[in-house]
């Protein structure tokens, strides 16, 4: 199945925890819909000229969050495309408000075991998981962040293969028309 006849009239934003598959599924979804794909982390790194982990180390998390908010504002106001939002982007009140107002937001919801398996034992170099047990860190973040992610327009089960998750998103989007 390709993207069906769903025509995006605004950006589609994937939100959720690290390991939910926002980037992997986002790329697939973008290909299915014939839309460009962009990742807020990549956008922040590009504009800052620093990788996300380096930014946390050298400038601190607050500086990263400020730039992340700028990237969200820019992308939310842009043309239809698929956007993978870094796990904290939708937790920020301003960012969440912008995304809810101008985009279609989809929460990729997966269990902690799945998230932990996907980020790997070293957390894939993610600053918030560094030096911590990824499973415990993700469980704590899930507890804190669920209420924010639950504000997204759609909740999609993010367990299973990429193609199946993309299918579920397309079905949710098509059903909303």
Toward ligand S3P, which CB reaches closer, 24 or 102?
Answer: 24
Using CB under 6 A as the binding criterion, the count of chain residues that bind ligand S3P stands at 10
Count of alpha carbons within 13 angstroms of residue 109, beta-carbon side: 18
Q: Could you give the CA distance from residue 62 to residue 66 in angstroms, rounded to a whole number?
A: 6
Q: What is the DSSP string of 150-176?
A: TTSSEEEE--S-HHHHHHHHHHHHHHT
Q: Which helix (H) or strand (E) holds 125?
A: none
- Residues 83-102 as x/- pattern, contact with ligand S3P by CB under 6 A: ---xxx--------------
Q: Which of 45, 52, 116, 173 binds ligand S3P (CB under 6 A)?
A: 52
Q: Which helix (H) or strand (E) holds 96?
A: helix 93-102
Toward ligand S3P, which CB reaches closer, 6 or 98?
Answer: 98
Query: Contact between 118 and ligand S3P (CB under 6 A)?
Result: no
- Residues 10-49 as x/- pattern, contact with ligand S3P by CB under 6 A: --------x---x------------------x--------
Tokens coding 174:
């098509």
Contacts of ligand S3P in 123-152 (CB under 6 A)? 126-128
Count of alpha carbons within 13 angstroms of residue 160, beta-carbon side: 10
Toward ligand S3P, which CB reaches closer, 8 or 45?
Answer: 45
């Amino acid at each position: 199945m390709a993207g069906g006849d769903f025509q995006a009239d605004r950006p589609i934003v994937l939100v959720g925890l690290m390991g939910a598959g926002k980037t992997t599924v986002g790329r697939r979804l973008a290909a299915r819909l014939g839309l460009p794909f962009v990742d807020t982390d990549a956008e922040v790194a590009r504009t800052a000229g620093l990788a996300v982990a380096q930014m946390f180390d050298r400038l601190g998390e607050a500086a990263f969050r400020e730039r992340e908010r700028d990237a969200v504002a820019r992308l939310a106001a842009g043309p239809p495309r698929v956007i993978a939002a870094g796990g904290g982007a939708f937790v920020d009140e301003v960012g969440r408000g912008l995304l809810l107002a101008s985009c279609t937001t989809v929460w990729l919801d997966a269990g902690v075991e799945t998230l932990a398996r996907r980020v790997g034992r070293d957390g894939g170099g993610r600053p918030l998981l560094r030096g911590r047990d990824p499973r415990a860190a993700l469980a704590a973040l899930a507890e804190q962040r669920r209420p924010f992610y639950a504000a997204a327009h759609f909740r999609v089960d993010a367990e299973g293969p990429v193609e199946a998750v993309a299918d579920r998103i397309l079905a949710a989007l098509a059903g909303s028309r």
